[in-house]
Amino acid sequence: MLYNVWMPIYWSDWRNDTEGLSFHEEGAYLNLVRVYWNNFGPLTTDKKILYRMCGAQNGSEKRSINRILERYFWLENSEKYGEKVSVYHHNRIDKEIAKAIERVGKNQQRTAAATAARKKNCQERRLTLRSTVR
């Protein structure tokens, strides 16, 4: 699981994509994107869970969530743990998550290489110190 991975937001794209949304709808969209990103994957189709995760409390906020789901997300039927489930996908977020996973993988490789180099360097220094002390 990946934790604390930053999420890119391209504000000019955001503005172009959300032109014409109401204040509540834009807030609903931002919350759905946040939940999607924090889960590193698609959204559940259980509206009660989505409303709760997004903080939608009244009818107007819940309707905004529903409108955004219809406009920006698409349903996919897939299998999870041997059961058929439906989830909401978002193409752009899926692409950004794939990039983040790749970025984290590269960073982990760099970190492992740097750690190995430091460890080797430290061992060499110890050997050098031991040989000079004797």
pLDDT exceeds cutoff 60 at 89: yes
Task: Find the DSSP H helices in the chain.
Answer: 11-18, 23-39, 47-54, 59-72, 91-133
Class of domain 10-89: mainly alpha
pLDDT given for residue 1 in this prediction: 52
Of 4, 26, 28, whose CA–CA distance to 15 is shortest?
26
The domain segmentation of the chain, as residue ranges, is: 10-89, 96-134
pLDDT given for residue 3 in this prediction: 59
What is the model's pTM?
A: 0.74
The CA distance from 93 to 7, in Å, is 9
Q: What angle do CA 108, 109, 113 make, to 5 degrees?
A: 115
The CA distance from 49 to 36, in Å, is 13
pLDDT given for residue 118 in this prediction: 78
Could you count the other beta carbons within 10 Å of the beta carbon of residue 31? 20
Model pLDDT for residues 1-58, shown as the tens digit of each residue: 555 678 889 999 999 999 999 999 999 999 999 999 998 889 999 999 999 999 999 9
